[in-house]
A and B are shown apart, each in its own frame.
Chain A
């Protein structure tokens, strides 16, 4: 019987585990079955359901870029039952993955524009997929600026990649930690993301802003962007809500009439303003 059961995950092998920060890990996953690998494709912004059999499923974005073929990556913080059991796994172990689900960042439409990425804490993973996707197609875009903040130096994820972006002449990376989160060797900024953004005062001219972070950061970042002259259509974010199915049936991730899983997770600020505050 051909398998059209939408709940059956792909079988993935954990190829590599990277410790990113305390309680934060990145898994590089490869399809166990060649046939699944050849049929699979995704676009930046999409997410999936990762399962540990016996514990359940958990929702994270695909944190790798579609331009990097042959694997997918996810980055997660140990927080609940499924993420705790994921964190106990080793390289070579097998997990389940369903996806990709959801809409995408429309990077095709951003050709010829400046890109301003603003991320906070554990919200860099969804943005990392877009950043690498755009950097792998670097000639399509003008200036690329990345502002990334975390609570403390140790909470910054993707430290190797931050160093790599920092060394690139075609990327302007600004990192910051919350006041009190710095250590003696810290060479970045100290201050909350919205404050640093205000200081940087990037031009909104021909620029797309992509914002992802905890609700409090988002709340204070949008007004700064508005002040800088960004229009609501040019500001993008990705939402998350509790999910079970990932495809608009289980009924819990909706914000008003839109499902985050099916109609999102990527929304413009313009779309966000039409939604009730249910995220």
Chain B
């Protein structure tokens, strides 16, 4: 749909959030606790941290929880009763205060869980999710959204995007039908406006490379020694995948207590050695460098080939989280100039 432009002042925004919670919707937004900002359930606008550039984790877990029950089972003497997950009963969730990069992350995730066989559990969570994002007025040294076709005011993946234009007001872009449903139910809170040039209100972030160049370069460097060089520092902790808003790789594990148990779909990481380890002991990605190469190829070569999109949104979380200071933007820049 064509974007609808509106204005909302901060007191009206507070009212909007109260209306969400009163109507039974679960609102998740960045909340600062002990110096760390994370998406958490909020009741009022006062709970929300508007300042932190990037929460430690993205809002990914609202649609792809760290651990998701995919079925449960009860064992009897000579039988097993398997119970499905009632994914029609998931709550309506508002993800408020996403950065545009995080909002964009829902798109590659969706491409993984959709496809020929649809993961209905993921799909149901995504359908119940409305994404209200806030444009970035600041960026830090790790941010590189403008190098991967994103931007501090990009609307991709958001249902509504807010851009702070004055100390008391946001410029509102209603991007999708879900966003429009919120507008239609709360018309009294929004004011009309013509389109506004957002540029003066957005962080300035220089483009360091283009994802298309990375994609082209990867055609010829699978056997290059750059992977060994770059991954020398990698300790294989997998934190990069856990904080990534676009990483969708998972494991399936059973957890049993007595006769009852639950089968879970849980986050996994291509950085782990056992990710690809065969029972025989053979491992197709034996070395950490091969696993680092897989991470870059998956996001910048395989996903573009398989799903016609890129698997990186430039949020920089992987670099912020890395215990050995690997910086993905720096490494991508090295690849771009090979």
Number of interface residues of A (CB under 8 A): 42
B213 at the binding interface (Cβ < 8 Å) = no
Contact A250 B279 (CB under 8 A): no
Contact A79 B78 (CB under 8 A): no
Contact A249 B113 (CB under 8 A): yes
Contact A80 B279 (CB under 8 A): yes
Given the known interface contacts A5-B71, A8-B71, A255-B284, the answer about A250 and B252 at a Cβ–Cβ threshold of 8 Å is yes
Interface segment out of the listed A65-73, A225-233, A239-247: A239-247
Contact B117 A6 (CB under 8 A): yes
Contact A5 B87 (CB under 8 A): yes
Interface string of B268-309 (1 = CB under 8 A from A): 101000011111101011000010001001100110011000
Give the residues in chain B near A180, CB-CB below 8 Å: none
Give the residues in chain A near B265, CB-CB below 8 Å: 7
Given the known interface contacts A53-B75, A53-B261, A249-B248, the answer about A1 and B84 at a Cβ–Cβ threshold of 8 Å is yes
Given the known interface contacts A1-B88, A8-B84, A252-B249, the answer about A247 and B278 at a Cβ–Cβ threshold of 8 Å is no
Contact B121 A5 (CB under 8 A): yes
A202 at the binding interface (Cβ < 8 Å) = no
Say how far A190's CB is from chain B's closest CB, in angstroms: 25
Give CA–CA (A4, B70) in the complex, Å.
12
Contact B82 A257 (CB under 8 A): no
B35 at the binding interface (Cβ < 8 Å) = no
Give CA–CA (A172, B335) in the complex, Å.
54
Given the known interface contacts A249-B115, A251-B268, A278-B285, the answer about A241 and B278 at a Cβ–Cβ threshold of 8 Å is yes
Contact A11 B277 (CB under 8 A): no
Q: List 21 A-B contacts (CB under 8 A).
A: A1-B84, A1-B86, A1-B88, A3-B84, A5-B84, A7-B71, A53-B256, A80-B279, A92-B78, A93-B78, A94-B79, A242-B275, A244-B251, A245-B252, A249-B113, A250-B251, A251-B250, A251-B268, A254-B294, A254-B302, A278-B285
Residues of A at under 8 Å CB distance from B? 1, 3-9, 11, 53-57, 79-80, 83, 92-94, 96, 215, 240-242, 244-245, 247-257, 262, 276, 278-279
6 closest cross-chain pairs (CB), A and B: A251-B249, A54-B256, A7-B70, A80-B279, A53-B73, A79-B279
